[in-house]
Structure 1
């Protein structure tokens, strides 16, 4: 075996420096990429929106799978991907009803959440199958999310969906005289906004939208974990504040959403009237939005004389119930909320 020449001090120094040089180059590249992302993120809502969407999509898929375990064996008729508009998958709906239904049924129209920039009707389909099994026609709506669509596009699309449901009530198994608007998270905000449009002519005029259904057709709303005061939302800080501000920039198309007409008209707590329909409203005690959004809306509706049913949990309740807790049906509290929702629907509809 040939002996290698002894390594001199200069060679050892070079060998030590090379990996550090490569590390410095790698760190420099990462820093450069981060700088580019930061610059782009300051100019466009897309990078942040796509990050949030990826996280929410994973969570939505997992939650839907969790709910699937709780869907009963009741035989349903399902009509999926019904087109109510001309924007492809964005303007479609899924319709569920008991297979035993002999005629039209009270109908729950559900608007999915996802911070206005993620989510789809499939996320709530399992929950609507559960509700349909109790004797309702249930409809899950898609709409164009941000940043692909800018406010108030989704509001117009949802109004179009209600127009379609009303016009095709017989074939969809819908009792058009008994419609319940429902939603979760951003979908609850949109459901509250649609209900305000239907019940407040002044607000409809302000939005320049002719409601597709009459106030006499809207018998109730179901609002879970929603946002109803955009000024309060704008005051959030930390990671939650960053997330909501990024989402609202993407959905509104402007960084000044909190000061302009977007935030003002989305803040339904300021626009609801005594004619707002009877409402079920809930939120988890571990969700900051409950205390910042859901409780104040419930209080405002009660001040106006609206019949309100609430399902809130004391602040110290354990476990702390997270945002969208009502979909986590492995939790007994979620099953309690489901039963209270069914009791509410039974009390305000006729089958």
Structure 2
């Protein structure tokens, strides 16, 4: 009989080796988690990149959905116009009806993305839809955090408005009829630019010389925005973590809620009776509607500003999410689009 004396020992060793390898793998995972946690405690970059990846996927999907609803209209498109010296960050896309025979009222749209993601391309389909209604529409890029920190984007957008004003004829823009518009973080920036333009005290606090005169901005369109950073700082859970991480990346400081960044970004505290007539909306399934958009609308109403709102009952079904207005496969988003067009028609010539 032939026996293999070492086989039982070899078999007995296999579980031990598996246990050893498992401990090594578990140790590596724990080490990676600890490294990420330590790095994330001293820099916003890791969290910002995760959030950016998620937002980029969502922005691309929304743009593809909107693209299905762009009408078959003849438009003149001029893409990637440079308005500043920061490369792709300071570029704009311009859309205007090919049949236009005069300068048109113009919508300047600032894209969202929690101040750390997104691009003008995300809103280009919406700009094409609005341009087909007889407007010149412009989508802006600006430097995102953490690559650039506040107030870099504010200064860039002011520079973009100066460029639009100076090149109005070439861009088919009526500089006496400008609408500042945005979504999400872009709404915050649009409200900030409108406040800078209409409040000399706020412009002085921001150390910004407004590119436009107050009477050039005839309206604002604010969708799903942020206007009260103290309320934002009070959020918890995954949404709170994401927004706080984004603000750290955008402002360059973890103490943004306690300093000038959070204070000056909170336009609900700075708007005046001279703020432009405003359309403001948010979905009932979006927490920012209840903590940001409705309070902002209430504040503007208190000041006597002409405000058009589109809010939905708390029990509305389906629940309308953040940035619902871009999900044009949904009937409620189509309603929002038509309300936006009606508002623009009512406040421009």
What is the TM-score when the length of structure 2 is the normalising length? 0.98
Structure 1 position 10, deviation (Å): 4.0
* 3-state DSSP of counterpart to 1:67: helix
Q: Distance in 2 between matches of 1:101 and 1:225?
A: 31
State the 1:338 CA deviation.
0.1
Hey, what does 1:289 align to over in structure 2? 288
User: How far is the alpha carbon of 1:14 from its aligned partner?
Assistant: 1.1
1:59-103, Cα deviation, whole Å (9 max, x unpaired):
111110110000000110000000000000000000000000001
Secondary structure at the residue paired with 2:99?
coil
Query: Which string of whole-angstrom CA distances, capped at 9 and with x for unpartnered residues, describes residues 273-313 of structure 1?
Result: 00000000000000000000000000000000000000000
Q: Tell me how large the CA RMSD over aligned residues is.
A: 1.1
**How far off is 1:4 after superposition?**
6.0
Where does residue 55 of structure 2 map in the other structure?
A: 56
2:201 aligns to what? 202
Instruction: Work out the number of aligned pairs and report it.
Output: 349
Aligned mates of 2:189, 2:201 — CA distance in 1: 18
* Residue 86, structure 1, aligned to residue 90, structure 2: no
In the alignment, the residues of structure 1 paired with residue 19 and residue 98 of structure 2 have an alpha-carbon distance, to the nearest angstrom, of 69
SS of equivalent to 2:313: coil
Q: Structure 2 vs 1, CA of residues 303 and 4 (structure 1 numbering), >3 Å: closer, same or farther?
A: farther
Q: Which residue pairs with 1:214 in the alignment?
A: 213
Q: Secondary structure at the match of 2:257?
A: coil
> What is the CA–CA distance in structure 2 between the aligned matches of 1:171 and 1:110, rounded to whole Å?
19
2:271 counterpart SS class = coil
- 2:14 & 2:57 partners in 1: Cα distance? 45
Equivalent residue for 1:121? 120
Following the alignment from structure 2 to structure 1, what is the Cα–Cα distance between the partners of residues 23 and 71?
Answer: 58
| CA-to-aligned-CA distance 1:148-190 (integer Å, 9 cap, x gap) | 0110010000000000000000000000000000000000000
Alpha-carbon distance in structure 1 between the residues aligned to 2:212 and 2:63: 30
Question: Partners in 2 of 1:11 and 1:40 — Cα distance?
Answer: 43
Closer, same or farther: CA 273–9 of 1 in aligned 2, 3 Å: same
Structure 1 regions of 5+ residues with no counterpart? Answer: none
Find out whether 1:184 has 2:209 as its counterpart: no
Unpaired segments ≥5 residues, structure 2 = none
- Tell me the residue number matched to 1:41: 40
Cα distance in 1 for partners of 2:3, 2:50 equals 53
Distance 2:327 2:5 in 1: 67
